[in-house]
Amino acid sequence: MLTNADIVELTEFRHRLHRHPEVSGQEEWTAAQVAQALEPLCPGRILTGLGGHGVAAVWSAPIAGPTVMFRCELDALPIEDLSQSTHRSTHAGKGHLCGHDGHMSILMGLARLISRHPPAKGRVVLLFQPAEEDGSGAAAVLADPGFAEIRPDWAFAVHNMPGMPLGHAVIAAGPANCASEGLRVVFGGRTAHASMPETGLSPALALAALMPAALAAGPGGAVVPGFRLVSICHARMGEPAFGITPGEGELWLTLRTLLDDDMAALRGEVITLAQDLAAQHGLTVAFTHHDRFAACTNQAEASAAIIRGLEALGIGHDTHGLPMRASEDFGLFGTVARSAMFLLGAGENRPALHNPDYDFPDDLIAQGVEIFDRIRQDMLG
């Protein structure tokens, strides 16, 4: 159990991380802070540089058993922190507005408990993962040769969730988070003098037609099998000038499906729409793919392990709000381990995730630690 001194120090640790946010792929200072805080807790091994700036701490028991991994995220968001807290971001245009600073503090608290009561069997791994927000981090960690050393049998994660009662948990086996990817469509034509538009090839009509057609391909609705959602995130055409008709234009779309198998079909349909419009208007068209997230599915046995921990601690839980439209790259760890993620309420009247004034509630740190440690003890003693 954490002491009052632990809670004070873990809160200070979170506030320090909150003041110095680093976005996906740039978490060098954050990773150094994590490694420095782990060293006095004497894990048997600390790995750094996993998949970029990832850090992992490993405690091994002398008796064989499963490897149980708990994972959090290092990265912040490219959003200005507009909160009025004394620990608000000092980095312009960047902020820990998804609560990853809180998740790191939870794992650091768990590290303290493990250092005092190491596992009786098997291994426990704490993974501080880079680049979750752009969907590249889990894949990079899995591809890193160093990951073979810590490959888990079980993997667990938590995400704070404003809009829910503080400390209330949500967990269910099955689909938890949608697959998603960013699709950038670029039409190419030819500029012209604005007085003679017929001498050019403008992408305006193709761009205008693609927007409603793409939205119709992914209308959204209930998050059930077959769910597809297309969101328009950005559009640009030509130069900001009155004397030139545009010679190129681009549209940024986010594609979202409940299941991985449905993403290829939705992607193919939208690409075909763009190709047909390009041909109709005499344009070229090119595509790039970004921020790819696999669907996140909670495995039944891993979900049951979380539920047993919650019930042993008397923490209320339900399945409300699952599966979520939002994506989460933790799902990739399900390809190598029995994995599950649960949500922990951050308060009903708190700003939403990714809002410019969001701030992880410090009161959740101790509870998150307690839940993870209960799961850890149940599985490893």
Give the model confidence (pLDDT) of 346-372 as tens digits. Answer: 999 999 999 999 999 999 999 999 999
Q: CB of 155 within 8 A of CB of 138?
A: no
pLDDT at 62: 96
Q: 213 and 183, same structural domain?
A: yes
Based on the domain organization, do 86 and 153 belong to the same domain?
yes
Beta strand spans in 38-197 (E): 45-50, 54-60, 67-73, 123-129, 154-161, 169-170, 174-177, 179-188, 192-193
CATH of the domain at 132: 3.40.630.10
Look-up of token digits 């839980």 = 317
Q: pLDDT tens-digit profile of 108-159? A: 999 999 999 999 999 999 999 999 999 999 999 999 999 999 999 999 999 9
pLDDT given at position 273? 98
Clarify whether residues 101 and 63 are in a common domain.
yes
- Predicted pLDDT of residue 331: 94
**What confidence category does residue 232 fall into, taking pLDDT thresholds of 50, 70 and 90?**
very high
pLDDT band for position 47 (cuts 50, 70, 90) = very high
| Cα–Cα nearest to 98, from 355, 327, 330 | 355
The domain total for the chain is 2
Q: What is the CATH number of the domain that holds 199?
A: 3.30.70.360
Going by pLDDT thresholds of 50, 70 and 90, the confidence category of residue 61 is: very high
Dihedral sign of CA atoms 22, 252, 238, 187 in order: positive
Last residue of a domain, which of 240, 260, 293?
293
Q: Are residues 107 and 233 in the same domain?
A: no
Of 293, 315, 337, the residue at which a domain comes to its end is 293
Give the end of a domain, one of 243, 259, 293.
Answer: 293
Q: Which residues contact 241 (CB under 8 A, 6 or more apart)?
A: none
Q: What is the pLDDT of residue 184?
A: 98
Beta bridge partners of 181: 255
Instruction: State pLDDT tens for residues 273-330.
Output: 999 999 999 999 999 999 999 999 999 999 999 999 999 999 999 999 999 999 999 9
Distance, in Å, from the CA atom of 28 to the CA atom of 107, rounded to the nearest integer, reads 18
**What per-residue confidence (pLDDT) applies to 321?**
93
Asked whether residue 51 falls in the same domain as residue 190, the answer is no
How sure is the predictor about 7, in pLDDT bands with cuts at 50, 70 and 90? very high
- State the pTM of this model: 0.94
- Rounded to 5 degrees, what are φ and ψ at 121? -150, 160
Nearest by Cα to 49 from 167, 128, 165: 128
Q: Tell me the two tokens of residue 105.
A: 């503090």
In this structure, what token pair is assigned to residue 360? 């992880």
Q: Are residues 211 and 325 in the same domain?
A: no
For residues 209 and 328, membership in a common domain is answered with: no
- pLDDT the model gives residue 84: 92
Our CA angle for 320, 343, 2, nearest 5°, is 140
pLDDT (0 to 100) of residue 202: 98
Asked if 237 and 327 sit in the same domain, the reply is no
Query: What tens digit of pLDDT does each residue of 184-211 get?
Result: 999 999 999 999 999 999 999 999 999 9
Burial of 200-226, coded b for 16+ CB within 10 Å and e otherwise, reads bbbbbebbebbeebbeebbeeeebeee
pLDDT at 297: 97
* Together in a domain, 232 and 120: no
The answer to whether residues 299 and 312 belong to one domain is: yes
* pLDDT bucket at 166, cuts 50 / 70 / 90: very high
| pLDDT, mean over the chain | 97
**Residue range of the domain that includes 150:** 4-175+295-380
Examine the domain organization and report whether 256 and 301 are in the same domain.
no
CA distances from 243 to 187, 235, 248, 316 (A): 20, 20, 15, 64
The whole-angstrom separation of Cα 41 and Cα 35 is: 10
pLDDT score recorded for residue 163: 96
Which pLDDT score is estimated for 302?
98
What are 163's two structure tokens? Answer: 């809009």
pLDDT at residue number 379? 98
Residues 25 and 93 in one domain: yes
